[in-house]
């Protein structure tokens, strides 16, 4: 039971990398499906790799409590090029 209480006290993290390319009309479009990672270091490494191939890349982290339906504000880990604003 202590593990369950600990999980509620310390929310999980959602760590995501999204990459963008430019469509023929100049608009930013996803280059790939969003990628989820276990650590900020893994996400940052992938984002740096994609930065040389894509118009823009964004790696971010946020607290997540899916069972409660809650997500914290995103914190940018890495940003390169043109990316849309985080909502």
Q: What is the pLDDT of residues 11-25, one digit of tens each?
A: 588 999 999 999 999
Structural domain contains residue 8:
yes
Structural domain contains residue 86:
no
At 15 the pLDDT is 95
Residues whose CB falls within 8 Å of the CB of residue 52, separated by 6 or more in sequence, listed in order? none
CA torsion sign, 58 to 50 to 13 to 69?
positive
pLDDT in tens, 37-84: 999 999 999 999 999 999 999 999 998 876 667 778 889 999 999 998
Alpha-helix residue ranges (DSSP H) falling in 1-87: 2-9, 40-51
**Which residues span the domain enclosing 39?**
2-81
Our count of domains for the chain comes to: 1
Q: What is the CA radius of gyration of the chain?
A: 15
């Amino acid at each position: 039971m202590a593990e369950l209480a600990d999980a509620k006290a310390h929310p999980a993290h959602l760590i995501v990398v999204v990459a963008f390319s430019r469509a023929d009309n100049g608009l930013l479009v996803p280059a790939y499906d969003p990628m989820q990672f276990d650590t900020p270091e893994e996400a940052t490494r992938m984002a740096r790799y994609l930065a040389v191939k894509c118009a823009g890349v964004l790696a971010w982290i946020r607290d997540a409590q899916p069972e409660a339906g809650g997500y914290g504000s995103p914190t940018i880990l890495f940003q390169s090029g043109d990316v849309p604003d985080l909502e």
